[in-house]
């Protein structure tokens, strides 16, 4: 920056991916040229290079495992699962064998060969018109950089300079780099590239680090030490903010603080609409220790307890006793509040090496969740027995994921009956009346919800996958992420269909996907007939405030009005109009 322009305010518009305001000095990250030198090591140096490669791969594997463990324990297993794919790259025999062959054939140093071979793999996958394979290309690039850095003895952690926390500006940041950020050193970050649905954006939101991406050339427009203000709500990066801008954002921060303080006071209040309709407000959790967050949030219980953490954090399958203790601890801490335990949802993007799951070209449509459990009865029964035994320690409920039709529900119920019979024979107690539900996250299940409702005690709509499968869009694919529309008319029809089917069968219907936490969509979900909303603990007070601000009649009127609309944008605008008229400060 020249002296003449140092004090002139400049604004850059990008895509907001993680909410929050960050103000401070720029920490500009321009990585050194990571292209490794090409060195002829001669025939006598080949085996030494092979040993160096094996050591670097082992070091990389340990680093990724540490990252996985850190994220799983600090944020949750869902976010940590990003690194399962990275481990697969390190263990990819086809890739590694080609690198070894090239080293031995051409007598070249390990880092140059690995960078070249992995680069070709990533380039080939990146050009294939398949979202999953393109995501693998990004994984290969991330892991390749880590392996090469280890071979060259360079630091693999993206660390700011010592001193005060900074706002990071870079061309791009990988998920593994984002996962290592500390709020004490990184106030927020802005990048030239990226999208709202990238793994990096998801990681930023999980870590509560404000972020703006897709700024084109922001890394070329700023310098180390520049004063910057980053607005993760509206996507602005403001260089050299003026006194007036700082005052405006100061007012905004004070208002935000006041709203947050008011939300804290809602913890002990009931989640009822202004005209008295009770809406059950639950929380989603990943780990047993999250139970304390549920109590602090003011939720009425747990609407989704993801159990994959037990399987993803170890090299062996968890025992019945280990699972029992985990479920028991949550049930006891939250008693008498209900806790809905989702049975194992491995597969797709969540893979455990001990299970030896086959690699699939399209794992999200493959052998996963209830499909896997019904085929691996040994794994399934161990979990069911643990849940049943823990059910005596609180109000346990259970639900099966990825149900596609009534046949899977019946097969799962048959396995559950076997477990109940075994426990009776062994003299072990369990709740004979524990409620069992089904997740509705596949279009076929939504269309057949009336049939499934006859077999279960409740239905829980997993909107994340329901949207993805209905519209046939991979929400992590940057090219088509714009098609991921929660207010698509087809999605609303399916939600209404499920709610009506559940009520006709005399059971309640909930939503446990991201839609449940979007306060702009709260009136729509209530109008469609949803009885329960389950969201992240941090969002519970906001959703409760939204519910308390609404009238049932106006929610039903909104649902009726949008049923006549034909575009997701028009429907979202109608929802936001009602929401802003009732709780503008939440938006």
In this structure, what DSSP letter does residue 27 have? E
Cα angle, residue 537 at apex, residues 533 and 542 outer, rounded to 5° = 65
Instruction: Read off the tokens for 125.
Output: 């996958």
Lookup result for tokens 């426990």? 423
Q: Is 162 left (phi over 0), alpha (psi -120 to 50) or beta?
A: beta
Could you tell me which residues come within 8 angstroms of residue 535 by beta carbon, excluding any fewer than 6 positions away?
282, 283, 284, 512, 514, 516, 517, 543
Q: Smallest Cα–Cα separation from 140: which of 127, 125, 150, 130?
A: 125
- Which H helix or E strand runs over 93? helix 93-106
Instruction: Read off the tokens for 109.
Output: 């140093």
Which residues of 219-279 form beta strands (DSSP E)?
A: 227-231, 236-239
Options 199, 271, 393, 448, the catalytic residue: 199
Q: Cα(43)–Cα(40) distance, rounded to whole angstroms?
A: 9
> Buried (b) or exposed (e) across 38-57, using 16+ Cβ within 10 A?
eeebeeebbeebeebbeebb
Q: Cα(170)–Cα(207) distance, rounded to whole angstroms?
A: 18
Could you tell me which residues come within 8 angstroms of residue 113 by beta carbon, excluding any fewer than 6 positions away?
99, 102, 103, 106
Catalytic-residue membership of 575: no
Catalytic-residue membership of 199: yes
Count the alpha carbons within 13 Å of 89 in the hemisphere toward its beta carbon.
29
Q: Cα(334)–Cα(394) distance, rounded to whole angstroms?
A: 8
Options 373, 419, 512, 555, the catalytic residue: 512
Instruction: Read off the tokens for 404.
Output: 């596609």
Q: Are strands 302-306 and 338-342 parallel, antiparallel or unpaired?
A: parallel
Q: Smallest Cα–Cα separation from 563: which of 531, 528, 515, 514?
A: 528
Which residues of 401-523 form beta strands (DSSP E)?
A: 435-440, 458-461, 508-511
Q: Smallest Cα–Cα separation from 533: which of 517, 545, 519?
A: 517
Q: Are 302 and 332 in contact (CB under 8 A)?
A: no
Lookup result for tokens 């449509």? 365
DSSP conformation letters of 180-220 = T--TTTEEEEEESS--TTSHHHHHHHHHT--EEE--SSHHH
Q: What are phi and psi for residue 327, nearest 5 degrees?
A: -70, -40
Q: Are 113 and 99 in contact (CB under 8 A)?
A: yes
In this structure, what DSSP letter does residue 347 have? B
Count the alpha carbons within 13 Å of 16 in the hemisphere toward its beta carbon.
15
Q: Are 514 and 543 in contact (CB under 8 A)?
A: no
Q: Cα(402)–Cα(495) distance, rounded to whole angstroms?
A: 16
Catalytic residues: 199, 512
């Amino acid at each position: 920056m020249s002296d003449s322009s140092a004090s002139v305010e400049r604004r850059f518009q990008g895509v907001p991916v993680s909410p929050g305001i960050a103000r401070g000095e720029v920490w500009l990250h321009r990585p050194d040229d990571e292209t490794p030198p090409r060195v002829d090591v001669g025939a006598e140096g080949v085996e030494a290079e092979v040993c160096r490669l094996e050591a670097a791969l082992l070091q990389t594997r340990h680093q990724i495992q540490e990252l996985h463990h850190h994220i799983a324990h600090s944020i949750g297993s869902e976010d940590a699962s990003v690194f399962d794919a990275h481990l697969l790259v390190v263990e990819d025999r086809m890739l590694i064998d080609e690198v070894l062959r090239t080293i031995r054939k051409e007598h070249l140093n390990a880092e140059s060969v690995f960078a070249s071979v992995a680069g070709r793999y990533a380039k080939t996958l990146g050009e294939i018109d398949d979202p999953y394979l393109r995501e693998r290309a990004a994984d290969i690039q991330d892991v390749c950089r880590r392996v090469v850095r280890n071979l060259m003895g360079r630091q693999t952690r993206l660390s700011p300079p010592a001193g005060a926390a900074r706002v990071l500006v870079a061309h791009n940041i990988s998920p593994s780099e984002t996962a290592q950020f500390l709020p004490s050193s990184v106030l927020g970050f802005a990048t030239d590239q990226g999208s709202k649905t990238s793994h990096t954006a998801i990681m930023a939101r999980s870590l509560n680090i404000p972020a703006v991406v897709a700024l084109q050339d922001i890394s070329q427009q700023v310098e180390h030490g520049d004063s910057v203000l980053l607005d993760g709500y509206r996507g602005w990066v403001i260089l050299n903010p003026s006194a007036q801008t700082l005052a405006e954002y100061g007012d905004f921060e004070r208002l935000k603080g006041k709203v947050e303080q008011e939300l804290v006071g809602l913890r002990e209040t009931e989640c009822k609409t202004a005209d008295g309709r009770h809406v059950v407000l639950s929380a989603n959790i990943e780990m047993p220790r999250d139970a304390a967050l549920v109590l602090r949030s003011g939720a009425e219980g747990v609407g989704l307890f993801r159990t994959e953490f037990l399987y993803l954090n170890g090299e062996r399958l968890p025992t019945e006793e280990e699972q029992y203790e985990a479920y028991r601890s949550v049930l006891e801490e939250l008693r008498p509040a209900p806790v809905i335990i989702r049975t194992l949802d491995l597969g797709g993007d969540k893979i455990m090496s001990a299970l030896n799951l086959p690699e699939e070209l399209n794992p999200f449509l493959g052998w996963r969740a209830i499909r896997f459990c019904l085929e691996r009865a040994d794994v399934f029964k161990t979990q069911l027995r643990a849940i049943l035994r823990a059910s005596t320690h609180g109000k346990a409920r259970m639900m099966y994921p990825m149900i596609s039709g009534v046949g899977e529900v019946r097969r799962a119920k048959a396995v559950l009956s076997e477990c109940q019979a075994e426990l009776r024979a062994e003299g072990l107690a369990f709740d004979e009346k524990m409620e069992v539900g089904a997740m509705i996250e596949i279009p076929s299940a939504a269309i057949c919800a009336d049939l499934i409702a006859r077999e279960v005690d409740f239905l829980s709509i997993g909107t994340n996958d329901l949207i993805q499968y209905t519209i046939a869009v991979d929400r992590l694919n940057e090219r088509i992420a714009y098609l991921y529309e929660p207010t698509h008319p087809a999605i609303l029809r399916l939600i209404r269909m499920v709610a009506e089917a559940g009520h006709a069968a005399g059971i309640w219907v909930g939503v446990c996907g991201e839609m449940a936490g979007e306060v702009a969509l709260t009136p729509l979900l209530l109008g469609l007939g949803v009885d329960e909303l389950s969201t992240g603990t941090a969002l519970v007070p906001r959703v409760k405030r939204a519910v308390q601000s609404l009238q049932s009649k106006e929610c039903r009127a909104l649902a009726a009005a949008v049923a006549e609309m034909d575009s997701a944008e028009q429907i979202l605008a109608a929802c936001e109009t009602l929401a802003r008229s009732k709780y503008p400060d939440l938006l």
